[in-house]
Structure 1
Amino acid sequence: MPKIKKIPQRMCLGCQEMKSKRELIRVVRTPEETVEIDPTGKRSGRGAYVCPNNECLEKAIKGKRLEKALKQPISKEIKESLFERMNRP
């Protein structure tokens, strides 16, 4: 019998739903204390996951869930850059 590979599951900070890791976008706090979107999902640092839509990112920021997950306050400039990068194809 072939071995079934597990698909890693993560929770979206916006809608609070468990989804496959590949469906979500990783936001990472790097060791240099910057907050960025991690397209590869492999950068070092503390990560949090959000669905690839503005509503979930907005909920995560508004409810301060992103700040709690990354254990760092998020500035207005970083929030704007996250929304900007989220809208890129």
Structure 2
Amino acid sequence: MKPNYRRCLSCRRVGLKQEFWRIARVFPSGKVQLDQGMGRSAYMCPTSSCLQAAQKKNRLGRSLHGTVPETLYQTLWQRLNQSNTQEKQI
């Protein structure tokens, strides 16, 4: 089976699907959520530079054709901080 490749919406890096965060705008409700749901989705590198660019330039909102709540960005920042602390402990 061929691997699934995706592109980061911030830095445009191509990589395996598992390397990215998936953010989806669920159909038909239009709710934006992480990791699950059917509908329009966007992929982003789990790095601070990509997250900062996506938030500052509204790349996530434009990619999903909708508004992204501030709570979603807060959740992504928390995830990033948790993954960084786990890497430092190893």
Q: Normalising by structure 2, what TM-score?
A: 0.74
Gaps of 5+ in 1: none
Structure 1 contact 37–85 (Cα < 8 Å) conserved: no
Is 1:65 the counterpart of 2:33? The answer is: no
Identity of aligned residues (%): 33
**Which letter does structure 2 place at the counterpart of 1:18?**
V
Offset at residue 15 of structure 1 (A)? 1.3
2:68 equivalent among 57, 74, 77: 74
If asked which structure has higher relative contact order (CA below 8 Å, sep 6+), I would say: 1
Offset at residue 86 of structure 1 (A)? 4.0
- Write the distance in 1 (CA, Å) between the matches of 2:37 and 2:49: 25
1:83 equivalent among 72, 77, 86: 77
Alignment partner of 2:2: what SS? coil
1:14 equivalent among 10, 13, 18: 10
Structure 1 contact 67–73 (Cα < 8 Å) conserved: yes
Query: What is residue 49 of structure 1 aligned with on the other side?
Result: 43
Gaps of 5+ in 2: 84-90
**Which letter does structure 1 place at the counterpart of 2:42?**
A
Which of the pair is proportionally richer in helix? 2
- Write the distance in 1 (CA, Å) between the matches of 2:75 and 2:42: 16
Structure 1 contact 36–82 (Cα < 8 Å) conserved: no
Alignment partner of 2:38: what SS? coil
CA RMSD of aligned residues (A): 1.8
Offset at residue 10 of structure 1 (A)? 0.7
